[in-house]
């Protein structure tokens, strides 16, 4: 059965992100290798994966080589680093079946708003999944029905959509009234 995964903020080839985010990697080569391995161990070629921004800091050709190696039917929600620097020249449509800044995803009974950035408010009845914050698992998490799907917050691997839903409600207080 086809599965749906979410992830963001891999920052391939970004040496400083190891230090900035206290990532447990010895080098950028080690980080790239383990992020690819973790992705491909979870995501099968027929699975859908929504990438919620900030893919790579590498040159176009080296970033393309990473994309060729990654499993799954890829969908892109553009992040702030995907719009500037070397990545702005990447032919995204060659690797991703679609590209958006914001997207309403419906899979079975799950309805989610996808954006690179966390939102302070979103459509009632939807979950909100985002990246950008480089949240760590021990840090305060977002609002009720919201989850940072970035690799830093999810064991450096894509997260299954159903698991993101569970984490979006874990240890969070539902808002009073008619919100989300």
- Long-range contacts: 130-138, Cβ < 8 Å, 24+? 130/8, 130/52, 131/7, 131/8, 131/9, 131/52, 131/53, 131/54, 131/79, 132/8, 132/9, 132/53, 132/54, 132/79, 132/80, 134/9, 134/17, 134/20, 134/21, 136/21, 136/22
Cα–Cα distance, 109 to 121 (Å, whole number)? 21
Domain-embedded: residue 31: yes
Domain count, the chain: 1
Domain-embedded: residue 180: no
Give the pLDDT of residue 177: 60
Domain-embedded: residue 175: no
Domain-embedded: residue 107: yes
- Provide the CATH number for the domain around residue 24: 3.60.21.10
Residue 103: CB atoms within 10 Å: 16
pLDDT digits (tens, 9 = 90+) for 103-137: 999 999 999 999 999 999 999 999 999 999 888 88
Domain-embedded: residue 21: yes
Domain-embedded: residue 160: yes
Range of the domain at 127: 4-169
Give the pLDDT of residue 173: 76
Q: What is the pTM of this model?
A: 0.93
Domain-embedded: residue 81: yes
Domain-embedded: residue 178: no
């Amino acid at each position: 059965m086809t599965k749906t995964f979410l992830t963001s903020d891999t920052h391939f080839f970004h040496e400083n992100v190891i230090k900035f985010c206290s990532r447990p990697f010895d080098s950028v080569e080690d980080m790239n290798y383990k992020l690819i391995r973790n992705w491909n161990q979870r995501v099968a070629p027929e699975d859908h994966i929504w990438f919620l921004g900030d893919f790579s800091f590498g040159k176009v050709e080296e970033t393309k080589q990473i994309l060729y190696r990654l499993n799954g039917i890829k969908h892109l929600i553009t992040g702030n680093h995907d719009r500037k620097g070397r990545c702005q020249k990447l032919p995204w449509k060659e690797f991703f079946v679609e590209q958006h800044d914001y997207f309403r995803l419906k899979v079975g009974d799950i309805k989610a708003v996808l954006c690179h950035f966390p939102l302070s408010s979103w459509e009632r009845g939807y979950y909100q999944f985002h990246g950008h914050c480089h949240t760590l698992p021990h840090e305060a998490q977002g609002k009720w029905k919201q989850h940072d799907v970035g690799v830093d917050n999810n064991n450096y691997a894509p997260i299954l959509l159903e698991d993101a839903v569970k984490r979006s409600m874990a240890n969070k207080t539902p808002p009073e009234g008619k919100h989300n």
